[in-house]
Structures are given as C-alpha cells and as structure tokens.
Amino acid sequence: GKKSAAPKPDMTVKQFKETVIKHLRSTLGTYEEKASKQAWNQAIAASVNEFIFDGVSRTRKTHAGKDARAVHYLSLEFLMGRLMSNNLQNLGLYELADKAMKELGFELADILEEEPDMALGNGGLGRLAACFIDSMATLALPAIGYGIHYEHGLFRQEFFKGRQVERPDQWREFGSPWEICRPESEQVVKLYGYVETVYENGGSHKVWHPGRTMRAIPWDIPIVGYGGHNVNVLRLWESRADKFFDWDVFNSGGYVDAYTESVQAETVSKVLYPNDETDAGKELRLIQQYFFSAASIADVMRRFRNAHGNDFSKFTALNALQLNDTHPAIAIPELMRVLVDEEGISWAEAWKMTRETFSYTNHTLLPEALEKWPLRMIQHVLPRHMEIIFEINARFLKDEVETKWPGNDGIKRKLSIIEEANGQMVRMGNLSVVGSHAVNGVAQIHSDLVKKDLFPEMNELWPGKFLNVTNGITPRRWMKACNPRLSTLIEKHVDADWPRYLEKLTALKPLADDSKFQKEYMAVKHANKEDFVKVIKELTDVDVSADAIFDVQIKRLHEYKRQHLNLLYIMALYRRLLINPDYDMHPRVFIFGAKAAPGYYLAKEIIFAINKVAEKVNNDPRIKDKIKVVFLPNYRVSLAEKLIPAADVSQQISLAGKEASGTGNMKLALNGAITLGTLDGANIEIAEEAGEENVVIFGMDVDEVVETREQGYNPGHYYQNNEELKAVLDWLDSDFFTPGEPGLLSAVKHNLVDHDPYMVLADYQSYSDAQSKIDALYRDKKAWARAAIINTASLAKFNSDRSIQDYADTIWNLKPIKAAAK
Ligand code: 26Q
C-alpha cells in the first residue's frame, strides 16, 4: 500500500492563498503589489502558525490532563537551521503552499531562502539536539527542549584574502515568526553572594544570600512532529537584568564584584560560545550554563508543584532530565539545592531522586575537551552549589568508592569530582556520571571507549550504568525536505510513510542492480549536482562541472578531523598532473565547508592553506580542470541541505578513536554519497549496515593507533620515506601557493612533520590508495550506482526516531501520548 503518514490538510490551495494574503495585509501591514520576498515569507509563516499554535495547545492539554511523565532535554545548543520547509513538510502542507505561491507568481523555494538559519549551535552536538526534538515530537513523546535564547548564534564566516573573518550572526534582526514569548513563565536566577548556616530547633540548614538576581524570560519554539498531530516546544531562556539590586546583600559583601558584574546580566544570553570541543574556563560561560539550567529546573518544579503541591513522591516517576554533554551538569547540584534547601527534603531522599532523574550523554573522549571548572570560580559564582558538590563528592568517596576499594587513595584521587592537581578543579564529567543513573556514548565504539578508557572504575562500580545509543538524523529534513528529487523517485517504489519508517527503503535493495533504476537514481544525483554547480558559482565564482566527482568534507575544522589530510592528497594529485599531464583520473571537485573556532590558530591556518592551494589549482590551465577545490564560506545547516543531495563522496577521515560518532556521515550516505572513511565513530556502523563493499575504509583502526603511539610515533619517518608526501609537505614551505611570500603555509607543514598529534602522516599512504579506489569505482558507473543505492536503502538504523526510541526504552522509561485530534 502507499498510505501516507502525513495527513491531508483540511485546506485548499485557494484558502491557503487567502490566508497568506490576509496575513500579508493584517500581520505584515503591506499588500501584494508592494510586499518584499521577506514579507511574503513572514506571511506564509504566520499562515503556517495557524496550524501550529493549535497543535501546541492540543498537545499541551493532552499532557496536562494525563499527568504525563516527560523528558526534559537540556542542551546549550540547538542548531535548528530554517524552520519553514520542515514545518510545511511535517504538516503535510508543502505541496499546497508550493502551488499557492506559484499561483501568486512566486517559487516557494525562492521565498524560503529569505529565512535566516537559526544557528544556536556549533556543529554535531547542536544539530543532534535539533534532530532529536524533531523525533521526540514525531514519536509523540512528552518532551521539552531547554536551551538559551542567544541573541547572536554562531558567527557568520567570511574569507578575506583566504583567511577566516568572523561576523556577528543576526538571526533575529527582524524578529522571528516562530517564537512565542511567555512572560507569565518568567523565572528568577540567583548568582554570587554567600551562604549562611542557620541553626534552629537543634538542627541547621543553609540559606544562600545571592549577590545578584537576574530574570529568565522563556521563548517557545513549536516543534511539529511528522504528520502534525503532536507539537512539542523548545523553550529558550533569555536573560534580563533585574530591575533593582538587593541592597542589603549589596552592602554586606562583594560590592565591587556585584556592581562590575551587573553589566553581565544582559550579556548572559547575548552570544553562543563559538568553540566546540574546548574552551578555557570563562566565568560568563559558567553563568550561561547555570542560568539556563536553573531556569529550566525551576520551570520543571513550577509545573510539578502546580499539579502536586509539595508532595514530591511522584517527582521521579514524572520527570526525566537528559544532559547533552556536561554543559548543563550544574543542573545536578541545582536540583539538590532546590529539593534540600527549598523543599526541606532530606539529603538521602533528594540524592536518590536526583540520580533517578538525570542521565548524561558523553560526546567526546578528547582529554582537553572534558570540562573542568576552577573550584574558586564556582565558589565565587555559586557558593551554595560548591558546598553541595563537596557533599556529593564526600559521600560518593566514603560510601561508594571506599566500600568498593577500601583504603585505595589512588582510585579515590582518580574518581573524585574534585581534581587536586594544578589548583583545584571541578570535573564535570565525574559529577555527571556520579549524579546520573545512565551514561551513554553516541556510537558503539565510542561507548565502548567511554567504558574502557574514560570511566573504567565508574563502570566497575556501576555495571549497567553505561550504555550506547548510536546517534541518528531526521529523515524528514535530511531526505524528504532537502532532496525532493530522490524522495519522488523513492516514492515510486516504497510506501509513502518511509520518512517515518525508514526501514521501508530496504525495498530499494533489489533495484540496486536494475539498470533502469540505476540510471534514474544517478540522474537525480546529476540534477542535484547541476543545481549545486550554480551555488558554487554564486558563492565562490569557481566554475565546476557536474560530471566531475563531488568529493565533500563538511564539518567543523579540527586537527582530529584531518582536513589537512584531504589537502595533502589534493596537492599530491595536482603534483601528479603537473608531472604527467596525461595522469589518468576522473575529474574531481573537492568541496570543503568548515568553520574554525576564532581562537584556534592551526585550524585557521589550515583554512588559509586550503584557500591558497584552491586559488592556484583552480587557475592553472595545465591541469585542464581535472581538479577544482572549493571552500564554501559560511557552512551552515541550510547550505548542508543543498550540498548533501549533490555529494558523491563523503569524507569521514578522523583519526580512529577521536570522532565520537559523526552525523554528517549518516546524512551523506543516506543521500547516496560513498563514505571514504576510517574505522571511527558511526562510520563503523554505516559500513556494517551498508556492507563493507559499499564503503571505502582506510587507515589505522583504534588498536593500531594505540600500538603506533606505544611504539613512539615518529612523523618524520613517514616524511623521509614517502617521496610524494615529502614533496607536498615541502611545497608548503615554498612560495608556490603564496607568490613572493614563502613560509605563509609553513605552520601546517611543521605541525605535521614535528608533532602530528593526529597521525596524519601515518595514514597518508593508505588514504591515497583509498582515493584511487574511489576513482576506479566511480568510473565503473554501474558499480558506483549500485553502491550508492545500497547505501540509501540500508541506513534505517540512523533514523533519529530509532535513537530516540532507544533513549525512551533504555534510559527515560518514557511512553508516547498522542495528542487529541482537532
Ligand atoms: C565547551 C566549553 C566552553 C565552550 C564550548 C564548549 C563546547 C561546545 C560545543 C564543547 C563541545 C561542543 C560540541 C561538541 C560536539 O559537537 N561534539 C560532536 O557531537 C556529535 C553528536 O554526538 C558527534 O557526532 C561528534 O562526533 C562530536 O564531535
């Protein structure tokens, strides 16, 4: 059967047109002849909101009536991208809107370009949160996302003479139609001050006298589940300065601090930290983390008290709190503070409730990326929380570690939430493990390493606490909406509800050898590439051919992701062509998209080097357009949606053991790109699902990496013994790519030859050989088409609905509740 999961909306094209025009006039204050594309965009959004707001209310009433258990997904980042096309798709309104706009003389796709990306995240972790809330709504799970309403999301990237320049992001410059301010749910967040011990009735309790309070204002973004029945919300907190100071506290201590910090109140939700993986412990970042954690916990408590007063017996039965990495880990002592200090619940009881409520997802093993805060800073900003952390730690070490390993100070030192070396630090990872009932990694190998390398003793202490939930992506955005041509082709062969049940794509497997289907599938890819040729031209002024292999590496710029390995190979290919103009290869376009953290020196040097090599390669007539190199500026969700459907090769070339999962790898493979990757993160599972013959794997695996390091890794050895590798590295020292200015690209060379922390040189030859396999495979048109089709047909595991079902079953113990129909 071809039953459709998305309901047919009870609206006609004519009615939709009338609604849009109504909003153009009454909401936007303009009219058809005068309205800008932007005004049309807003009018469509207002029309769509008529459906959405109704869904928000229906869903809310359903949950309130049922006293439903709910999950609260706490994340510093939600990388939502654009919302219009997704909302239209999930409501089943897309085709209707498309027709309506055509009748009004517009291309809907064109008008959708007016919407700025909501870039409230850095990369993988933030986009994962966005896919997850889509799936939670789709699965009708009572769920709410909590985050920060950043005024400025991730910076806009420009290139100036090949170097990255950061410009502020202005996603709300003209307001956003998708958010609803909820002033009635404002919360107060306290900071600084001191803690008083009050003795009474033979006992004592703690009173925190904050040095400052600030206001947290919630903005709700409706999250429309696929099919439109269920609409959840993403609640983002905006900080505002309090209208007045608490003068008593002001006078009693911290006067200067409180005053100079007062400027910060409004800056707390001003800007997203653009550093993924690492950042030095900045006080403002700690305050951001606490600000939204405290506001969110207060919101959970308010909702609970409204239903149950001060009877907390049902608290754990009704609430799950998920920590997206350690960034919101301060929520653990905050919940303890509220339960113990404000509700008068005993420590033992409160701790039991806290642990049952929290769970923690780890997204990295990189030691420099594990969050640590100076104890002094937490003491200063959150004095009561520091006391609570001490108490949690003391009880943990005494009752649990000492019992298991009596008298073992080494293990205590290792497991302690407080690190005693180089000034005391609070280890947020340890706090998160100790305060949670479940800890998960994001791909199988990563979860194994979390147990084996990161928290081995914790795993001994609590076998069963550590789990794997492999990441996923929403097929609604990452196939149905972004790749309409492939979706249309798919729908000729599989049930229409495939965006919900992605395993239905396995019905395509028998077609992988069907030459008619192969041609249709590759024609779709070619058409998508033709579209993207225009995007490349527009953004970079480089002319490329859609007949070339589109070889894509899109992800944040990081040494461990090894964009410079890709670069070395491009240089080697270029050199081969200069040495032998008849060098046999299929034309290739290397496409990069990547932002570097503004303070990450080497990452910025790598961007510069790629841009300089690109400039030279793209303008060298000797190589007859066999290679083009394109570094797309300002890579972001909306650009990914255009590029991924056009990709032939998906580069996933991190050093084994370093990429926790990756999710771009899933998006690209689903859209028919062949993975060129290491045995790292979810690449391993993609190879398992698609079959090893349908991916190209190279390089050391995790065990070989460990072995190579133990033998004393010497990058100079590879440099000296590989003629081509030596030649391209030396090339970076010359002025060949930077005429008249030798040495401009030397930092990249010397980092590799002298240090090479991510073993680029060790994997170089294997990578180069793998690239040759890609070339050969592509030239066998049928073999390539077959492999690409099998990839599309085999990726059901990476549906984020499956990830969320895993969380619901194994961590949250959460059941769906379908919202009442209209
Ligand atoms: C920490 C402290 C201060 C400022 C910023 C940060 C910070 C911000 C963002 C630290 C880390 C991040 C983001 C990490 C991230 O995106 N990790 C990726 O998560 C994906 C989803 O699980 C995985 O697929 C990737 O493998 C992983 O790198």
Q: Could you give the 3-state DSSP secondary structure of residue 161?
A: coil
Looking up tokens 């654009």, which residue turns up?
82
Ligand 1 centre to CA of 495 (Å) is 36
Ligand 1 centre to CA of 362 (Å) is 9
Which domain does 777 fall in, by range?
487-493+502-796
Of 558, 206, 526, 180, nearest to 388 by C-alpha is 206
The residue whose CA is least distant from atom 3 of ligand 1 is 279
Q: Is residue 122 included in any domain, yes or no? A: yes
Structure tokens, 63 = 């949950």
Structure tokens, 607 = 């961007």
DSSP track, 496-548: TTTTT-GGGGGGGGGGGG-HHHHHHHHHHHHHHHHHHHHHHHHHH-----TTS
Q: Is residue 601 included in any domain, yes or no? A: yes
pLDDT grade for 1, boundaries at 50, 70 and 90: very low
Q: Is residue 41 included in any domain, yes or no? A: no
Whether residue 703 sits in one domain with residue 566: yes
Q: Could you give the 3-state DSSP secondary structure of residue 553?
A: strand
Q: Is residue 5 included in any domain, yes or no? A: no
Strand 187-191 with 212-224, pairing? antiparallel
Q: Are 261 and 283 in contact (CB under 8 A)?
A: no
Whether residue 566 sits in one domain with residue 465: no
DSSP code, position 184: G
Q: Helices marked H in 231-277 — which ranges? A: 247-252, 255-261, 264-267
Whether residue 752 sits in one domain with residue 625: yes
Ligand 1 centre to CA of 660 (Å) is 10
Ligand 1 centre to CA of 663 (Å) is 12
Helices (H) and strands (E) in the chain, counts: 35, 25
Q: Is residue 783 included in any domain, yes or no? A: yes
Whether residue 729 sits in one domain with residue 614: yes
Distance CA 654, CA 675 (A): 12
- pLDDT of 2: 43
Split into its structural domains, the chain has a count of 2
Spatial strand order in the sheet of 372-374 = 372-374, 425-427, 418-419
As a whole number, the mean pLDDT across the chain is: 95
Q: Which atom of ligand 1 is nearest to the CA of 681?
A: 26
Ligand 1 centre to CA of 276 (Å) is 5
Task: Kindly give the interhelix angle for 94-103 and 84-91, rounded to the nearest 10 degrees.
Answer: 110
pLDDT grade for 215, boundaries at 50, 70 and 90: very high
3-state secondary structure 542-600: CCCCCCCEEEEEECCCCCCCCHHHHHHHHHHHHHHHHHCCCCCCCCEEEEEECCCCCCC
pLDDT grade for 65, boundaries at 50, 70 and 90: confident
Question: What one-letter code names the amino acid at 262?
Answer: S
Ligand 1 centre to CA of 370 (Å) is 10
Whether residue 530 sits in one domain with residue 411: no
Q: Could you give the 3-state DSSP secondary structure of residue 152?
A: strand
Q: Average pLDDT for residues 90-106, to the nearest whole number?
A: 97
Q: For ligand 1, pick from 271, 276, 449, 595 the residue to mutate: most ligand atoms within 8 Å of CB.
A: 276
Which pLDDT tens digit goes with each residue over 378-402?
Answer: 999 999 999 999 999 999 999 999 9
Ligand 1 centre to CA of 300 (Å) is 26
Of 600, 572, 705, nearest to 274 by C-alpha is 600
Of 53, 8, 496, 499, nearest to 16 by C-alpha is 8
- pLDDT of 562: 98
- pLDDT of 253: 62
Whether residue 526 sits in one domain with residue 457: no
Whether residue 409 sits in one domain with residue 370: yes
Distance CA 757, CA 366 (A): 12
**pTM of the predicted model as reported, rounded to 2 decimal places:** 0.97
The residue whose CA is least distant from atom 24 of ligand 1 is 662
Q: Which atom of ligand 1 is nearest to the CA of 446?
A: 26
Q: For ligand 1, pick from 271, 292, 363 the residue to mutate: most ligand atoms within 8 Å of CB.
A: 363
Looking up tokens 């030691």, which residue turns up?
367
Distance CA 508, CA 485 (A): 15
3-state secondary structure 291-348: HHHHHHHHHHHHHHHHHHCCCHHHHHHHEEEEEECCCCCCHHHHHHHHHHHHCCCCHH
DSSP code, position 590: E
Q: For ligand 1, pick from 326, 362, 364 the residue to mutate: most ligand atoms within 8 Å of CB.
A: 364
Q: Which atom of ligand 1 is nearest to the CA of 660?
A: 26
Q: Which atom of ligand 1 is nearest to the CA of 662?
A: 24
**Vertex 115: Cα angle to 113 and 118 (nearest 5):** 125
Q: For ligand 1, pick from 125, 284, 292, 330 the residue to mutate: most ligand atoms within 8 Å of CB.
A: 125
pLDDT grade for 576, boundaries at 50, 70 and 90: very high
Structure tokens, 690 = 């698609």
Distance CA 331, CA 147 (A): 13
Which pLDDT tens digit goes with each residue over 122-135?
Answer: 999 999 999 999 99
Whether residue 543 sits in one domain with residue 407: no
pLDDT grade for 174, boundaries at 50, 70 and 90: confident
- pLDDT of 621: 98
DSSP code, position 797: G
Q: Is residue 656 included in any domain, yes or no? A: yes
Q: Is residue 607 included in any domain, yes or no? A: yes
Among residues of the chain, what percentage have pLDDT more than 90? 92
Distance CA 271, CA 644 (A): 28
Q: Which residues contact 591 (CB under 8 A, 6 or more apart)?
A: 536, 550, 551, 552, 553, 554, 630, 632, 643, 647
Distance CA 164, CA 598 (A): 8
Q: Which atom of ligand 1 is nearest to the CA of 442?
A: 22
Q: Which atom of ligand 1 is nearest to the CA of 361?
A: 22
Which pLDDT tens digit goes with each residue over 339-382?
Answer: 999 999 999 999 999 999 999 999 999 998 899 999 999 999 99
Whether residue 336 sits in one domain with residue 262: yes
Strand 372-374 with 674-677, pairing? unpaired
Distance CA 15, CA 271 (A): 41
Ligand 1 centre to CA of 363 (Å) is 6
Distance CA 562, CA 559 (A): 5
Ligand 1 centre to CA of 368 (Å) is 12
DSSP code, position 757: T
545 against 422, higher pLDDT: 545
The residues annotated as belonging to the active site are 363, 555-556, 561, 663, 667
Whether residue 365 sits in one domain with residue 217: yes
Q: Which atom of ligand 1 is nearest to the CA of 682?
A: 24
Q: Average pLDDT for residues 576-585, to the nearest whole number?
A: 97
Ligand 1 centre to CA of 325 (Å) is 8
DSSP code, position 621: G
Return the bridge partners of 232, or none. 223
Distance CA 224, CA 593 (A): 29
Q: Average pLDDT for residues 184-194, to the nearest whole number?
A: 97
Whether residue 584 sits in one domain with residue 676: yes
The residue whose CA is least distant from atom 21 of ligand 1 is 125
59 φ, ψ to 5°?
-65, -45
Which pLDDT tens digit goes with each residue over 770-808?
Answer: 999 999 999 999 999 999 999 999 999 999 999 999 999
Q: Are 418 and 425 in contact (CB under 8 A)?
A: yes
Strand 674-677 with 696-697, pairing? parallel
The residue whose CA is least distant from atom 13 of ligand 1 is 276
Whether residue 514 sits in one domain with residue 461: no
The residue whose CA is least distant from atom 17 of ligand 1 is 125
ipTM exceeding 0.90, yes/no: yes
Q: For ligand 1, pick from 277, 289, 560 the residue to mutate: most ligand atoms within 8 Å of CB.
A: 277
Looking up tokens 């107060």, which residue turns up?
188
Q: Which residues contact 314 (CB under 8 A, 6 or more apart)?
A: 67, 308
The residue whose CA is least distant from atom 7 of ligand 1 is 276
Task: Please report, for the domain that includes residue 779, its CATH number.
Answer: 3.40.50.2000
Distance CA 241, CA 494 (A): 55
Q: Average pLDDT for residues 511-540, to the nearest whole number?
A: 98
Ligand 1 pocket, Cβ-based, cut-off 6 angstroms: 122-125, 128, 273, 275-277, 279, 285, 363-364, 371, 442, 471, 659-663, 681
Of 306, 292, 315, nearest to 234 by C-alpha is 292
Q: Average pLDDT for residues 299-303, to the nearest whole number?
A: 98
Q: Which atom of ligand 1 is nearest to the CA of 126?
A: 16
Q: Are 64 and 308 in contact (CB under 8 A)?
A: no
Q: Is residue 764 included in any domain, yes or no? A: yes
